Amino acid sequence: MYNSKATISSINFKQVARALTIVENDLTESAELLKNLTFNKPTPIIGITGPPGAGKSTLVNELINNLLKEGNKIAVLAIDPTSPFNFGSLLGDRIRMASHFNHPDVFIRSLATRGSLGGLSVKTIEMADVLRAAGFDYVLIETVGVGQSEVEITGLADFTLVVLVPEAGDEIQHIKSGLMEIADAFIVNKADRADADIFFNNLKKITSQNKEEQTQIFKTVASQAIGIDEVTAFIKSSASQKNQRRELLLTQKAYQLIQHKLTRHIDKKKLQHAIAEALNTEGFNLYSFVDGYL
Amino acid sequence: MSNTFNRPIRVLVAKVGLDGHDRGARIIATSLRDAGMEVIYTGLRQTPEMVVNTALQEDVDAIGISILSGAHMTVFPKIIKLIKEKQMDDVLLTGGGIIPDDDRLALKQQGVGELFPPGTSTQDIVKYITEWVHSHRNF
């Protein structure tokens, strides 16, 4: 039913969409499909992260606008959280990108975290690679906006934009947050708000400490398409540079893939049953219990 | 068909045209999510083309259209036509709203699935979509 080689070489949205489904759900054909992926150009993967409501989706929408002007083909993976209680998800990032729904060069896919933490879904690496192999010129990944720990994106993206809003806590919040260390550039969105300049300057001070090079900071008002050109220029220049972190990135990806493969046979529901049973025996010890799985 | 279905059902929930009453669509979207589905919500003012393009890219199992404007005899046939053009016949097109019985039957003959009137229990809708998807899509 599915011919992985033939389908991935040209951008057929329907086939790309199905390939993503196969990979996301680890269906039978998945391993074969991934092993047959070929990459004809160095498509950069750009991570966009930041707290909820910072304007990530709106910014992505504007970046698409700008990148389209040069005839690029763009794929977006927009990630939203899965409920830990009923395992369902409401995926709404797309709403902000409605003007591109019918554009033949824009492919948008929403995905749910399905229980993984860190702002990505378990299969994001694989899905991003399917899109790269499909021949898109840019792959944009918008992470879940969960706060201070969605740093996994650095293990996946060639470079990461951190979107912040002027009133997002005082500067101390930013120093402690893991987000601050992962940014290749910061975007202060909603920069037309009062105190945006104070925020901008504070951010500049914090990020220039202990660093030879100042991390770039951009001011934008994404909802009015202000400041987007500068960000686009940054994306293009970063994309054309040879990624110094390539080995590190691939190591991280390999590590994650191995980790997922090794724990694949462990089903959380079954684990819970096993725990329930083990609890009935005398002298239950979690560490001895875990040994049984290694 | 054997049921090998072992992944969350994906559903697109949208409103088409200038119909601004989205309370129903939101309630359905949340109910489907609570039932463990992955719901892509695109909200108001979609065109049939937008709906079908989104459904294709998101590879959804079902499309749910909420319509209270009376334009159902225009909107549903347009979507069905696009679905057929793109050979997405294995995707369920269902929906709800103020839709007279005669129209409902006419649309059914064109290939539209069940259309639910106001007052339908959300459980019934969850059950219908789940059963349809499990029996029509086997990956």
- Delineate the domains of chain A, giving CATH numbers in brackets: 8-263 (3.40.50.300), 264-294 (no CATH)
Inter-chain CB proximity B57 and A95 less than 8 Å: no
- Measure in Å the smallest separation between the Cα of A42 and chain B Cα atoms: 23
> Which chain B positions have a beta carbon within 8 Å of A17's beta carbon?
56-59
The per-residue pLDDT for A128 is: 95
Confidence at A9, pLDDT banded by 50, 70, 90: very low
Confidence at A148, pLDDT banded by 50, 70, 90: low
* C-alpha–C-alpha distance, residues A89 and B39, integer Å: 6
The per-residue pLDDT for A6 is: 42
Inter-chain CB proximity B57 and A88 less than 8 Å: no
CA proximity to B100, closest of B70, B64, B63: B70
- Contact between B61 and B91 (Cβ < 8 Å): yes
Across the range A148-162, mean pLDDT stands at: 77
Pick A273 or B9 by higher pLDDT: B9
- Measure in Å the smallest separation between the Cα of B118 and chain A Cα atoms: 22
CA proximity to A186, closest of A213, A208, A170, A163: A163
Q: Which residue of B has its CA nearest to A110?
A: B58
Q: What is the pTM of this model?
A: 0.88
On the question of pLDDT at B1 being above 60, the answer is no
Q: Which residue of A has its CA nearest to B37?
A: A88
Confidence at A177, pLDDT banded by 50, 70, 90: low
Provide the token pair at A163.
């979107």
* C-alpha–C-alpha distance, residues B23 and A85, integer Å: 24
On the question of pLDDT at A4 being above 80, the answer is no
On the question of pLDDT at A1 being above 60, the answer is no
Judging by DSSP bridges, how do beta strands A89-91 and B38-46 pair with one another?
parallel
Q: What is chain A's length?
A: 294
Q: Which residue of B has its CA nearest to A12?
A: B57
The per-residue pLDDT for A169 is: 55
For chain A, the residues whose C-beta falls within 8 A of a C-beta of chain B are 13-14, 17-18, 20-22, 24-25, 27, 82-83, 86-92, 94-95, 98, 101-102, 107-110, 112, 114
Inter-chain CB proximity B34 and A25 less than 8 Å: no
- Measure in Å the smallest separation between the Cα of B93 and chain A Cα atoms: 17
| pLDDT digits 0-9 by tens, B10-32 | 999 999 988 888 898 999 999 99
By Cβ distance, the residue of B37, B41, B53 closest to A92 is B41
Handedness of CA A26, A118, A249, A17 (dihedral sign): positive
Q: Which of A196-210, A220-234, B101-115 has the lowest mean pLDDT?
A: A196-210
Across the range A120-149, mean pLDDT stands at: 86
| pLDDT digits 0-9 by tens, B118-135 | 999 999 999 999 999 999
The per-residue pLDDT for A172 is: 54
On the question of pLDDT at A164 being above 80, the answer is yes
By Cβ distance, the residue of A13, A14, A91 closest to B39 is A91
Across the range B22-43, mean pLDDT stands at: 94
* C-alpha–C-alpha distance, residues A136 and A8, integer Å: 11
Inter-chain CB proximity B32 and A88 less than 8 Å: yes
Pick A117 or A273 by higher pLDDT: A273
φ/ψ of A99, rounded to 5, equals -70, -10
Inter-chain CB proximity A88 and B59 less than 8 Å: no
> Which chain A positions have a beta carbon within 8 Å of B54's beta carbon?
94, 101, 108
Across the range A64-70, mean pLDDT stands at: 94
- Measure in Å the smallest separation between the Cα of A25 and chain B Cα atoms: 7
